[in-house]
A and B are shown apart, each in its own frame.
Chain A
């Protein structure tokens, strides 16, 4: 307990005792009492146990019955004191019960609220009594408190609440009470108690909507959320509801506007024309909020808006001046506005936006300047008409500020990958940058990349490389990797001049402490041993022009965030599952919660599945980096987003020239699914090379650790490739394998409760089995057809029963839960199947208490998925 001197407590108690002896009606005495109570509460809130003051305090108040503020203070004191000292609560309960019958509704309401907050188990009986009477009270203030009291009781003693039918009473109040706040509280309590599931009927919705304007702002938001989960019976009803709620869009409270906007957008999802009308109507209210409100409110609005802008960039392209930064905007708002500008940039406004960004680049705020340069770079990538915008980047190079130069260089490399034709104009200016003004590793790497690619056009490129190579050991690993590549590439163009640079870089590289650098240098070295021609054919290949860069968020994630509009998901740009503590949510059994398994396991499973998915497909590079970005839940800091080349194995090739070797190597393997043994050995060789190369893949392009880069070096790359090939081989062999003859028979109609499922799912994690299988487009379509019923029936043929399916129309990945029970020993098998769309694949996790049963079901599933 606190070490505060006892003296203060005594002082207060003495004062109270002294005051309680005086007549309670004199104004000066009342004032003294209030002052004394204020002191009492101040000490109490500092954590000092003031329960000793209980007797004089109550006496004091008893003699000044008519002073309500004093009474309120006493209740405030009692709530805490009762918890510190249950005996106190027992003494005071009679007073509270009396107050529950007071003539003044304020006192009755106060008493009910205070009683429900006491949380002393011995008093529950009295609390129920008070709540019961409160629900019947004639004054809405008391009923409001009593309704909330039911929920407080429910959390302490659910059985007691059920026994007394209090929730049913609340339910009947919901349909009969005339006070909007009481109704809102009823709704809230029922929803919290889980009694509203399936109760949002047409009748309820209509009566709520008819009175919606009499609710407080907050209750309106709550009702809007409820209504948005209600599926209208007919098209007519749908648009009637929208008409009723139209007022919400011009509300002064942004929370109401956002809730209304969400409902409008989700309601019109299936109706394209109306959907676009909604977007159109949203513009005005959003502008009013963005221009007229406090920065914090604007931030929340803009976070939602950004999701919309990324989804429908065309709809908002003309609003761009609204998102120009103000000088007194807080930094978070400026960054967000720039994001929005990038999202809505198109050929109609790109020039103006770039013009505005140019102003920000001059700003003394470095972060703003960098964000502006990034924006110009991204707009250049997005809007094909690159001329004016590329010039701006060149202009920035002339600003002679180190951070501006650095950021511009990084952006420049991306632009050059996208528009190789622009190189002519840029290379000269880049070459003119004094080398010592490029300090940041990422910028140095970008600079070296340009030297390597376009060194033929730069007079003294070999000597610059030489200078770099001489100080090889002083550089950061990403710079070293870029330097190695630049040296070897330029070597093929200008062999005599580059010999020295390449030699010293390779020597230093092979001796380097960093595994990645070492491996890459060694790879080049060995390639060169095979002859320069051979090495050139591997390293110096014609790169396909990059036409699009991977979005930082996958389409599925973006859909999920759109579903979760007007929640924190839009702020963090990640689905709720990534930042909401699953443990807290685990208590609630609902479909969405269930498919994640219990608690933290679910979280892990999801990450796992996104990784395994990525491995299952050839085009995995972009996917896995996207998954990594998802996991990190932050906008990727990667200066150069992982590049995705147009086709086939190019997905690997875009990342780095070396990988293009891997890509072309892998492509033939992919073309012939069951690899003949001869090719297998070739693949091994290939794997060996990849072993050196793969780990370095992520690093030069981005510091954001893509899974590939994080994998153990050496063996990691090889393993990756084997996986790749194994995926194909595995698929083939499973199809050819005879039906498993394990002798396990499954019961036709297994039974399982959600709780059992959750517990077992968590308990059986060790020993789980998993597999991935690519799906054809037709198979994918059949999964989605008919509200997943065809798919579940298909699985059901094998006596594997469906446990849960996603909601119809959910965004991919779709998650299904199945379960089965063996006939012999009754052991259970639980299955989660995740179907993803791009690339089309199914990933299954099988858990069971019996390994044979799990194996059996695994085999069955593989066959079933193949025969979809």
Chain B
């Protein structure tokens, strides 16, 4: 038997070997899950090692399915990915190769999930597989972070064992896994203060953290969450004219129903799907309040005929989180936010400018946006920035604690050359102005005026109606049982995808 070494440790494992190694390289470097699903083949299925690395480079999980990739691959990967292009902070592309070893990775949940291979694999397959491993972990542990994976490392290995056998991906549905994976997840409550975003939690606004196993095993409350999440893309010019807009949406379901009963969802009846429908509609000459989706894809288990005819989705929801429907709409929507920038010269000095940002929340007062962030990149000519928000203590003045209360702050991040104006809560109908005094290098007043921007807005805006107008009319859980009344949660959330104001 020949032996190999791993981080200087000699491993008396034979070459063709299925083993698990969990290594923390050095305490100051955090970690990776490494799964090696090595699949040979002309048919480009795989040939993967899989590993998970923390942002500091510790190996958290390392699983080698075929043993034909050097054990130093985690180090090689980390060095290459961390200093891509010789620079710290550049994103390494999801696929690259070093010495004939292919490295594919995704960066989610604050960790690198890496697969390695010696074959000419399908990049989509490898990356989707890694994404799937991550989402299974998320379903099992409620959310994914370095600590969660560390605490549950044995369960992760057990899951990997079921998901991939000898490098060939097996059935990875939660039903199957629930049947054959037996260890209990250790739920780690997130330590972050309430409301803060979890690392990698940007995928969905459903903040509930619990394992899919809870319902069946511990008898926790049965519930189902249905979220319509829409990401808005819009570009405005300095005058506030909307130059382009589009919506990318998804109906996301997170299900904790024991016994997986079928459910039925009725969508808006005035829903028009795809270009074909749209053409039919235009022949009626109507441009009413119809909800128009340009393209969409539906979860595989849904009967397509019923949906086409009645706009009804009937399915057996799998455990955990999944996207029931993804769609795009190029319908123009009423922009929830507007920002008007204005730059004024200083009359007395040649090296000062004043930048005004006027932010309008143009949605009903019943809605409150959270995490609103207006970012303005400023050119290198800007030396100093001094910001004043309007009435920082408005909440006190209005004596309206709770809903009316808001906090805002403006922050000049010199390293990124970005001015960030954040408002924690912003109720509809309000208007705020930020005033910034910019000190620039002499003689660069004009170029500064020309070079700032584009202004970007981030937000999370819950509440009906959705920007596209899509709605879920009803949801039924088709289970014949007395007193069966699981909680049903329903939300609509709009987020910024790329919400820009171009001042020039």
For residue B125, CB closer than 8 A to chain A, the reply is yes
Please tell me if B296 contacts chain A, counting CB pairs below 8 Å: yes
Interface string of A96-134 (1 = CB under 8 A from B): 000000000010010001000101000000000000000
A109 contacts which chain B residues (CB < 8 A)? 180
Tell me the complex Cα distance, A156–B18, Å: 13
Q: Do A222 and B45 touch (CB < 8 A)? A: yes
A459 within 8 A of B: no
Partner among B19, B168, B233, B327 whose Cβ is within 8 Å of the Cβ of A185: B168
Does chain A have a CB within 8 A of B498? yes
Q: Does the CB pair B173–A141 fall under 8 Å?
A: no
Interface stretch of the complex, out of A576-584, A708-716, A757-765, A784-792: A576-584
Residues A80 and B250 in contact, CB atoms below 8 Å apart: no
Q: Which of B43, B183, B295 contacts A288 (CB 8 A)?
A: B295
Q: Which of B12, B16, B62, B497 has the most CB of A within 10 A?
A: B12
Evaluate contact between A584 and B100: CB separation under 8 angstroms: yes
Main DSSP-derived SS at the A contact region = helix
Contact between B297 and A332, CB atoms less than 8 A apart = no
Shortest C-beta distance, B234 to chain A (Å), equals: 12
Q: Contact partner of A255 among B10, B91, B122, B274, CB < 8 A? A: B122
B72-103 to A contact mask, C-beta < 8 Å, 1/0: 00000000000000000011111101011110
A119-B14, A216-B169 known; A332-B94 Cβ under 8 A: yes
8 Å CB contact of B91 from A252, A331, A364: A331
B377-A294 in contact (CB<8A): no
A258 touches B299 (CB 8 A): no
A368 to B18, CA, bound (A): 43
Contacts of B379 in A (CB 8 A): 364
Nearest chain B CB to A296 CB, angstrom units: 4
Inter-chain contact B184/A69, CB cutoff 8 Å: yes
Contacts of B233 in A (CB 8 A): 326
Whole-angstrom distance between the Cβ of A213 and the nearest chain B Cβ: 7
A576 vs B326: C-alpha distance in the bound complex, in angstroms? Answer: 34
Tell yes or no: A253 within 8 A of B by CB.
yes
Interface residues of B in 157-205 (CB under 8 A from A): 157-158, 161, 165-166, 168-173, 179-180, 182-184
Q: Are B297 and A152 in contact (CB under 8 A)?
A: no
**Using Cβ atoms and an 8 Å threshold, which residues of chain A touch B153?**
42
Specify which chain B residues have a CB less than 8 angstroms from the CB of A226 in the assembled complex: 43
**A145 — which chain B residues lie within 8 A by C-beta?**
165
Considering only residues 551-589 of chain A, those with a C-beta below 8 Å from chain B are 564, 566-572, 576, 579-581, 583-584, 588
Does any Cβ of A come within 8 Å of B29's Cβ? no
Asked if A45 and B183 sit within 8 Å, CB to CB, the answer is: no
Q: Assuming A106-B180, A251-B300, is B120 touching A567 (CB within 8 A)? A: yes
Q: How far is the CB of A91 from chain B (nearest CB, A)?
A: 18
- The digit string for B117-140, where 1 denotes a CB below 8 A from any CB of A, is 011111111011111000000000
Contacts of B121 in A (CB 8 A): 567-568
Are the CB atoms of B44 and A225 closer together than 8 Å?
Answer: yes
Q: Say yes or no: B45 contacts A83, CB within 8 Å.
A: no
A38 at the interface (CB under 8 A from B): yes
Q: Which of B10, B40, B294 is close to A192, meaning CB atoms less than 8 Å apart? A: B40
A570 to B120, CA, bound (A): 10
B44 to chain A, nearest CB (A): 5
**Shortest beta-carbon distance, A110 to chain B, in Å?**
8
Q: Flag if A581 contacts B498 (CB, 8 Å).
A: no
Interface centre among A45, A288, A296, A568 (most CB of B within 10 A): A296
Contact A579 B100 (CB under 8 A): yes
The smallest beta-carbon distance between A241 and chain B, in angstroms, is 17
- Determine if A326 and B498 form an interchain contact, defined as CB atoms under 8 angstroms apart: yes
Q: Do B12 and A83 have beta carbons less than 8 Å apart?
A: yes
Contact A571 B456 (CB under 8 A): no
Report whether B23 and A580 are in contact in the complex, using a CB–CB cutoff of 8 Å: no
| Complex CA–CA separation, A291 to B182 (angstroms) | 37
A676 to chain B, nearest CB (A): 52
Is A288 touching B326 in the complex (CB atoms < 8 A)?
yes
A424 touches B (CB below 8 Å): no
Q: Mark B1-28, 1 if CB is under 8 A from A, else 0.
A: 1000010011111101111111100000
Name the CB-closest residue of B to A331: B91
> Nearest B residue to A119 by beta-carbon distance?
B14
Closest Cβ–Cβ distance, residue A3 to chain B (whole Å): 9
Task: Report the separation of the CA atoms of residues A253 and B91 in the bound assembly, to the nearest whole angstrom.
Answer: 24
B92 touches A332 (CB 8 A): yes
CA of A258 to CA of B128, assembled, Å: 11
- The answer to whether A584 touches B97 (Cβ under 8 A) is no
Q: Say yes or no: A364 contacts B417, CB within 8 Å.
A: yes
Say yes or no: B158 contacts A72, CB within 8 Å: yes
Q: If A47-B6, A292-B248, A326-B498 touch, does A300 touch B123 (CB 8 Å cutoff)?
A: yes
Complex Cα distance, B165 from A800, in Å, reads 47
Contact between chains at B118 and A580 (CB < 8 Å): yes
A294, B165: Cβ atoms closer than 8 Å? no
Does A45 lie within 8 Å of B20, measured CB to CB?
yes
Contact B21 A113 (CB under 8 A): no
Stretch binding the partner chain, chosen from B209-217, B398-406, B431-439, B446-454? B446-454
Known: A225-B45, A288-B295. A326 touches B497 (CB 8 A): yes
Cβ 8 A contact of A144, one of B12, B99, B122, B165: B165
Across-interface contacts of B94 in A (CB, < 8 A): 295-296, 299-300, 332
Chain A residue at minimal CB-CB distance from B117? A568
The complex places the Cα of A572 from the Cα of B121 at a distance, in Å, of 12
A400 to B448, CA, bound (A): 11
Q: Determine if B290 is an interface residue (Cβ-Cβ < 8 Å).
A: no
The reply to whether A45 and B21 contact each other, CB–CB distance below 8 Å, is yes
B42 on the A face (CB < 8 A): yes
Chain B 419-455 per-residue mask, 1 if CB under 8 angstroms from chain A, else 0: 0000000000000000000000000000100110110
Closest partner residue, chain A, to B444 (CB atom):
A400
Which residues from chain B contact A219 at a C-beta distance below 8 Å? 169, 171
B352 interfacial by beta-carbon distance below 8 Å: no
**Residues of chain B within 8 A of A175, CB atoms compared:** none
User: In angstroms, how far is the closest chain B Cβ from the Cβ of A569?
Assistant: 6
A217: chain B residues at CB < 8 Å are 128, 172
Closest chain A CB from B146 CB (angstroms): 16
Check B122–A221 contact: CB distance below 8 A: yes
Q: Mark B37-66, 1 if CB is under 8 A from A, else 0.
A: 001111111000000000000000010000
For residue B108, which residue of chain A has the nearest CB? Answer: A294
Chain B residue contacts of A73, Cβ below 8 A: 154
Given contacts A330-B91, A572-B97, contact A252 B299 (CB under 8 A): yes
Shortest B133–chain A CB gap in Å is: 12
Known pairs A287-B295, A359-B502, A400-B447; A571 contacts B123 (CB<8 A): yes
Q: Is there an interface contact between B118 and A584, defined as CB atoms closer than 8 Å?
A: yes
Closest partner residue, chain B, to A218 (CB atom): B169
A169 within 8 A of B: no
- List the A side residues contacting B168 at CB < 8 Å: 148, 185, 188, 218
When distances are taken between beta carbons in the complex, the residues of chain A under 8 Å from B39 are 188, 192
Question: Is A8 positioned at the interface, with any CB of B under 8 Å from its CB?
Answer: no
Interface residue? A181 (CB, 8 A): yes
A297 at the interface (CB under 8 A from B): yes
Task: Contact check, B166 vs A148: say whether CB atoms are below 8 A apart.
Answer: yes
Contact A332 B93 (CB under 8 A): yes
Q: Does B500 contact A (CB under 8 A)?
A: yes
Q: B311 at the A/B interface (Cβ < 8 Å)?
A: no
- Can you name 20 A-B residue pairings with CB atoms under 8 Å? A72-B183, A144-B165, A148-B168, A151-B166, A192-B41, A218-B170, A219-B169, A225-B45, A254-B124, A254-B127, A255-B127, A284-B295, A300-B94, A300-B123, A359-B502, A362-B450, A363-B377, A566-B123, A579-B102, A590-B42
* Interface residues of B, Cβ cutoff 8 Å to A: 1, 6, 9-14, 16-23, 39-45, 62, 68, 90-95, 97, 99-102, 105-108, 118-125, 127-131, 153-154, 157-158, 161, 165-166, 168-173, 179-180, 182-184, 233, 244, 246, 248, 250, 274, 294-300, 323, 326-328, 377, 379-380, 416-417, 447, 450-451, 453-454, 456, 497-498, 500, 502, 504
Given contacts A83-B12, A181-B171, 10 further A-B contacts (CB under 8 A): A42-B22, A76-B154, A83-B14, A113-B161, A145-B165, A258-B122, A299-B93, A364-B379, A364-B416, A576-B120
